[in-house]
Amino acid sequence: MKSLAQKTAVVTGAGSGIGRAMALKFAAEGMNIVLADVDLAALQAVQGEIAAIGARAISVPTDVSKRRDIENLRDRALEAFSGVHLVCNNAGVDSGGPFADIPESTWEWVLGVDLWGVIHGCQVFLPILLEQGEGYIVNTSSVAALTGMPLSAAPYVAAKSAVLGLSMNLRAEMEATNPQIGISVLIPGPVRTNMSTSERNRPADVAAPAASTMREEVQSFVGQYLEKEGMDPLDVADMVVSAVKENRFYVMTHLQDALATVTGNSSRMSSDSVAYSEA
């Protein structure tokens, strides 16, 4: 998609972090923005930021783990802007603890948001992109899908690994059958987001993670590290904008961490398929 102006982007997880940053950057490119998140107040705040730069946006409270919510998101987008050209399946949560102590409800919640949210987003919006003959999908994975993350919750790592595989397969399918539809996978490393406080959105019917002093200490350290050293989400969003315009598949925020682990897959990692930052 060489030009984004006057087109419409749908961004899930748009209330904060990378989702908010992508929404703002797309708006600055002249796009209409459909904001989705479970936190309506956060959405409305971002909508106000977008209005301040002269772009149009709507806020749609959305639980991406529920297909009917994604279908409603699609319908609201079409009602407001008569089309959808760019879909960013970005919403994510993290929860868990020592593997043996993770309750099934936690697995269901994290996989529901982080994996099924991406599946729903692709399945619901892809037919629109195919029908109109153009479009782009960006799925958010994680460097954890490539490196693993000691003491990071297994459901998050499992979901993000599946998102990477799903995106690779979808990219290959579109290249073979519908090359006018672009696919990118965003693989962020340390970025200043609210991911470490995902428990704030934990549904009431999802069991709280078992107490783990070690995990609490790790989360505290990670939170402090990200605040001090993490990449600015707006810089990540700049990388996504470039990748969409140039039809690059891999969008890696921290090349050293990611590429070192996957050098055996260099055939998929050529310079014309990777957007990255060495920050």
Cβ-based neighbour number of residue 229 at 10 Å:
10
**Do residues 230 and 191 lie in contact, with contact meaning Cβ atoms separated by under 8 Å?**
yes
Cα-Cα-Cα-Cα dihedral sign, residues 114, 240, 256, 263: positive
Q: How far apart are CA 72 and CA 78, in angstroms?
A: 10
> Per the residue annotation, which of 136, 156, 250, 276 is the catalytic one?
156
Exposure on the CB side of residue 53, measured as CA atoms within 13 A: 17
Q: Which of 227, 248, 246 is nearest to 185 (CA)?
A: 248
CB contact at 8 A, 140 and 240? no
Residue 134 and residue 81 in contact, taking contact as beta carbons nearer than 8 Å? no
Q: Other C-beta atoms within 10 Å of 202: how many? A: 17
**Residue 156 annotated in active site:** yes
Q: Enumerate the active-site residues.
A: 156
